[in-house]
Amino acid sequence: MAVITATVTAVGPPPIPAQNPLSGRRIAFTTPLTYAGRLTRLLELHGANPLPVPTVAVEPTPRTLAAVEPYLHGRTLDSFAALAFTSRTGIAAFALALAAGGPPPLAEAGEPFTVAALGKDAELLHEGGFLSRLCRNTSRIKVLVPEIASPAGLVAALGDGLGRRVLCPVPTVVDLEEPPVIPTFVGDLEAAGWIPVRVPAYETRWAGPGCVEVLMKLKGTLDAMVFTSSAEVEGLMKGLEAAGWDWEKVIRRWPEILVGAHGPVTAKGVERFGVRVDVVSSRFSSFDGILEALASKLRASSVER
């Protein structure tokens, strides 16, 4: 198995300065429960008070697993040159379908096959025997981790498609408007000469009208709200509306709240809903980037005062 990567990921969390501006800050985040644990632990490590407000649920379902299954039988996957994951949940869903049994879907001999994933998501490719379940001859597989952890970075790293097919395990969106991220990703692949095939590997759906209840009951300060995907913003707005609130009421209650976006793609999605973004992570291969950006903003604000 060959691994192609343009980045070197440091082992373990970054050192925390003695004068940590996140210490004691209450930081809400709309990250789905699937990912919330990682962000919670990082915030606690920095001395912050995390407030999970999951506004969307992201997970595979029996229906989505059934959609993946046809690609795992009859050497169907051998008609593809690459498998491109845009999220950690996509990898987990594909792994779950692989674990259901049957021979590996890729033949042991054939052209090199690329499996691409973003940032720390790629760690899942090396867990639970994922690659060996995909192909007994793992040396046939090239793992590709783009330097820029975004769908656009993934397309750039894949290069010229030359008319080859790429399988894209992506979400099906329920009770929410589909954000432009995946359609843009598919369009960019086509423009690069690939033939992308979407497979709905998992669901992204609104967490329901009670998703903002923890926010409504909050007493005291709220220093920041972090969004890690654009779907979360719509989920928050729907939750606020169901509770008789809106974003303006949030601003009135916590006038100094900072809004952080995990990368520029998420920032654009946040701004589509009329929410001003104060902080955008420029290092978005992991959640460390958005926390560094928030800390920098808070440090600068403290100096200005």
SS (H, E, C) the chain: CEEEECCCCCCCCCCCCCCCCCCCCEEEECCCHHHHHHHHHHHHHCCCEEEECCCEEEECCHHHHHHHHHHHCCCHHHHCCEEECCCHHHHHHHHHHHCCCCCCCECCCCCCEEEECCHHHHHHHHCCCHHHHHECCHHHEEEEECCCCCHHHHHHHHCCCCCCEEEEEEEEEECCCCCCHHHHHHHHHHHCCCEEEEEEEEEEEECCCCCCHHHHCCCCCCCEEEECCHHHHHHHHHHHHHCCCCHHHHHHHCCCCEEEECCHHHHHHHHCCCCCCCEECCCCCCCHHHHHHHHHHHHHHHHHC
Is the per-residue pLDDT at 9 higher than 90? no
Residues 216 and 3: their CA atoms lie apart, in Å, by 47
Residues in the chain, overall count: 305
Residues 133 and 55: their CA atoms lie apart, in Å, by 34
Supply the mean pLDDT for the chain: 91
Residues 66 and 64: their CA atoms lie apart, in Å, by 5
State the CATH architecture for 59-204.
3-Layer(aba) Sandwich (3.40)
Among 3.40.50.1220, 3.30.499.10, 3.30.70.1400, 3.40.50.10090, what is the CATH number of 19-55+207-304?
A: 3.40.50.10090
Dihedral of the alpha carbons of 97, 100, 102, 104, in degrees to the nearest 10: 40
Closest by CA position to 290, among listed 256, 257, 267:
267
Q: Outline which parts of the chain fall under CATH 3.40.50.10090.
A: 19-55+207-304, 59-204
Query: Which residue do the tokens 């997970």 mark?
Result: 59
Token pair for 194: 């690939």
C-beta neighbour count of 35 within 10 angstroms: 19
Q: How confident is the model at residue 5 (pLDDT cuts 50, 70, 90)?
A: very low
Is the per-residue pLDDT at 302 higher than 50? yes
Q: What is the pLDDT of residues 17-55, one digit of tens each?
A: 446 899 999 999 999 998 899 999 999 999 999 999 999
Q: What is the pLDDT of residues 209-240, one digit of tens each?
A: 999 999 999 999 999 999 999 899 999 999 99
Contact of 166 with 158, CB cutoff 8 Å: yes
Query: Which residue do the tokens 């709309």 mark?
Result: 30
Q: What is the pLDDT of residues 145-191, one digit of tens each?
A: 999 999 999 999 999 999 999 999 999 999 999 989 999 999 999 99
Supply the pTM of this predicted model.
Answer: 0.84
